[in-house]
Structure 1
Amino acid sequence: MIQRAGTLEYDYLFLIDSDLILHPDTLKHLISTDKDIISEVFWTQWQPGTLHQPQVWMHDEYNQWELLPGEQLKPEEINRRFHEFLAKLKEPGIYEVGGLGACTLISRKAILTGASYHQVKNISYWGEDRHFCIRAAALGIPLFVDTHYPALHLYRDSDLGKVADFIKQNGGGQHASGLSEPLPQLNAAALESEQPQLASESVAATDSAQPELSLEAVTDTDAAPSALTPDAAAATDSAQPEHEAVADTTPAQPSPVPDTANEITAGTASALTRPKLTLTMVVKKEGGRFLRQVLEEHRKYIDAAVIVDDSSTDDTAAICLEVLEGIPVQLVRNTRSKFSNEIELRKQQWEAVIATEPEWILNLDSDELFEASFATEIDDLLRDPQVDLFCFRLYDFWNDSHYREDAYWRSHLSYRPFLLRYRGDFDYVWYELPQHCGRLPENIFELPHQLSNLRLKHLGWSKPEYRLEKYLRYMQLDPDGQYGWKEQYDSILDEFPRLVAWVE
């Protein structure tokens, strides 16, 4: 698109994602700012119950606070600057930023200077907007965001209900000050239809400037429908304690000393220097599913485990202790299931984990496991002193070798938080709802965070009998899709879904 705009001598190229609704004066106003690269701001609640954040940032992948070269900030100072940045962008103005996208005006001057979305080969950041912004900065082209006409971002289906109010509020096309700027005079070719010669392209939402970090109920595997499952153990004798802690105190066995340097495995060498990694899970009647397979993979790189068994009646707990033999395991067994009140269960899990004084926490479900390369690359993530939170893409497997991808199954287009460095000096806050409260505290994105290209497999849909079981449960508990997505429910039993081969 940029090359075409340059060849045809367009005055501007306007790139806008297909899930944005704009104020009618947006484009005229952006042109009038006389900036070579400028985006209109929009705000998104990337996870339910969290702060709305703009799609622009100051440095690295999505850090939204000022940072001088060589400056080392404490968490409380990062938090202060983060909120200061957000407050500034809520005031109408034009501000210089380090990264932007999704609703961007690019001038001919910037195009001729070399602005491009091509990948910068020695940069590993995900997303073409990051490569565009890094290249622009290297070329000496400043990046700006305008906050006079915030766009509406239709990030979830529920956001569609905001469109009518947005149009009603902004239908007058008047700036907050009452002004409506005229278009600047452009070249003759641009005036053929009494409009500036703009190359306006709608970019797919998956290429948005902001990586998707949402925990969408419609694609988060079991989250929405499972939340409706009644408490199967409600009849447990109330005189019994609600949970009992069972700890496997078997010390981790030291690895044998290799005879030669060539015999040192990646795991042996890294274990000497890397921070401790604690796996935590909530499990319930998983003995006949994927628990054993998943734990056998996890034991390759974890140093400890904290597992909450939410009132299983099978051999789930025994499998955990058996497969993780030799690794310190803190096993908490609930005699009364807390599954119907997720916030209670997640807080119980969190308190059990932090009681062990963890360094890094890996929070996964019993049917989730990483691709094979995670075992060798996890050490680099844990050693990174600049990052406290890593987010990953989750792929819904439909059989042993393929994942599903279509309009209803797009979980892998989002980045979700799974790996967190525990900081005792940070005030963690939970999303206080009975369901959809999240696996981790809601304010963790105030910590320095980063996206990882390592991929996570979700196996819970990978067998026909599991899909049928879930479908029948959804039809029983939420037949009208009140709490989930009816069309997605109906798609579960599609005879010929679109599947994509998994490649390690």
Structure 2
Amino acid sequence: MSITVITPVLNESTFLPLYLQSVTAFADEVIIVDGGSTDGSIEMIESFASTHPNIRLYLSMQGTAYTDEWNESDVRNFMVDQAKGDWIANIDADEVFDDAFQSTVPALLPQLDADVLMFPMINFWKDPWTVRVNAPNDERWSNDIIRMWRNGKGIRYRDQKHHCTLRGKTGDVWTLPSQRLNIPLYHYHYAFGNRFKFNDNRRGDVNLYENVGKPDWSYRHGEYEIKLVPFAGKHPEVVNAYMESQSMKGWDG
């Protein structure tokens, strides 16, 4: 069974080499919509696509991603409509599946009765050796998350401009037959590169209210605990190679 990966992109030059190496190892088709990158992301994708013809890049006509002119549900549903695979996987550019995905999931798909697949989400915080986890009143970190679904079942994104969620054809996506696969999806947004983007601090978790400067990872705003634990797992090989190339062994940020 075939897999289509869909991804919106905006200025992801740090993560794209990792993402592209990872998803092209298992995806039959990769659909990307760029929302106005100015950091060389488009050129990176085009260069990679020159040797990987299963990558399709579209440039958004809506305006810069995540501004008021950008409608995230429209963008994501456009990619859903273009997808030809039997399964659709939503994987953001700063996310990499565990290596077990490639060796396990494609062969497993024909045996599944489920229409949606959930995976454990591992969110790194300030470096690639620290994980942010659930805390009271802050239940959005390191949860199981739906990131694959069967194509042709009417599963689409709700009409929301930002942070849109999935819905089923006749109701909530959580009511559809589902299965949890114990294969982590690692979120490296807060571990590498700038570790912070403009308008990325709506909850005030790193004390940068003007969206400028370097993140203050020690800041505690008092509304809820930012709970951290050491990372006890193993990074995917593409990430290990990146860290070695950047001499990040023992790196403390």
Instruction: Give TM-score scaled by structure 2 length.
Output: 0.72
Aligned to 1:387: 114
Distance 1:342 1:455, change over 3 A: farther
Counterparts of 2:175 and 2:70 in 1: how far apart (Å)? 21
Structure 2: state its 5+ residue gaps.
208-214, 220-225, 235-253
The 5 A counterparts of 1:13-52 are none
Residues 1:322 and 2:47 aligned together: yes
Distance 1:394 1:499, change over 3 A: same
Report which structure shows greater RCO (CA 8 Å, sep ≥6): 2
Residues 1:344 and 2:74 aligned together: no
Selected match of 1:455 from 184, 192, 199: 184
Aligned to 1:285: 11
Shift of 1:316: 1.0
Counterparts of 1:378 and 1:428 in 2: how far apart (Å)? 20
Counterparts of 1:333 and 1:429 in 2: how far apart (Å)? 21
Aligned to 1:331: 57
Distance 1:363 1:342, change over 3 A: farther
Structure 1: state its 5+ residue gaps.
1-274, 479-483
1:371–1:454 contact (8 Å) kept in structure 2: yes
Name the SS of the counterpart of 1:391 in structure 2: strand
Aligned to 2:233: 503
- Could you give the per-residue CA deviations for residues 254-293 of structure 1, whole angstroms, max 9, x where no partner exists? xxxxxxxxxxxxxxxxxxxxx1111110001112x11111
Counterparts of 1:349 and 1:445 in 2: how far apart (Å)? 19
Distance 1:463 1:379, change over 3 A: closer
- Could you give the per-residue CA deviations for residues 336-379 of structure 1, whole angstroms, max 9, x where no partner exists? 22523598333233223333432111111110001121110112
Distance 1:311 1:441, change over 3 A: farther
1:283–1:310 contact (8 Å) kept in structure 2: yes
Q: Give aligned-pair identity as a percent.
A: 20
Counterparts of 1:298 and 1:343 in 2: how far apart (Å)? 25
Aligned length: 213
- Could you give the per-residue CA deviations for residues 306-337 of structure 1, whole angstroms, max 9, x where no partner exists? 10001112321221233342241221102422
Counterparts of 1:364 and 1:353 in 2: how far apart (Å)? 13
Shift of 1:434: 2.6
1:279–1:361 contact (8 Å) kept in structure 2: yes
Shift of 1:457: 0.5
Aligned to 2:210: none
Counterparts of 1:446 and 1:342 in 2: how far apart (Å)? 32
Shift of 1:464: 8.0
Selected match of 1:441 from 143, 155, 167: 167
The 5 A counterparts of 1:23-172 are none
The 5 A counterparts of 1:183-202 are none
- Could you give the per-residue CA deviations for residues 142-162 of structure 1, whole angstroms, max 9, x where no partner exists? xxxxxxxxxxxxxxxxxxxxx
- Could you give the per-residue CA deviations for residues 133-179 of structure 1, whole angstroms, max 9, x where no partner exists? xxxxxxxxxxxxxxxxxxxxxxxxxxxxxxxxxxxxxxxxxxxxxxx
Distance 1:411 1:473, change over 3 A: closer
Indicate the RMSD between aligned Cα atoms, in angstroms.
3.0
1:342–1:435 contact (8 Å) kept in structure 2: no
Selected match of 2:98 from 365, 371, 374: 371
Counterparts of 2:111 and 2:82 in 1: how far apart (Å)? 24
Counterparts of 2:156 and 2:83 in 1: how far apart (Å)? 19
1:403–1:500 contact (8 Å) kept in structure 2: yes
- Could you give the per-residue CA deviations for residues 387-423 of structure 1, whole angstroms, max 9, x where no partner exists? 11101121111323332346358622x2111011112
Name the SS of the counterpart of 1:454 in structure 2: coil
Distance 1:339 1:303, change over 3 A: same
Name which one, 1 or 2, has greater alpha-carbon Rg: 1
Distance 1:396 1:428, change over 3 A: closer
Counterparts of 1:342 and 1:406 in 2: how far apart (Å)? 32
Name the SS of the counterpart of 2:42 in structure 1: helix
Name the SS of the counterpart of 1:312 in structure 2: coil
Name the SS of the counterpart of 1:297 in structure 2: helix
Which is helix-richer, 1 or 2?
A: 1
The 5 A counterparts of 1:7-18 are none
Shift of 1:431: 2.5
Name the SS of the counterpart of 1:294 in structure 2: helix
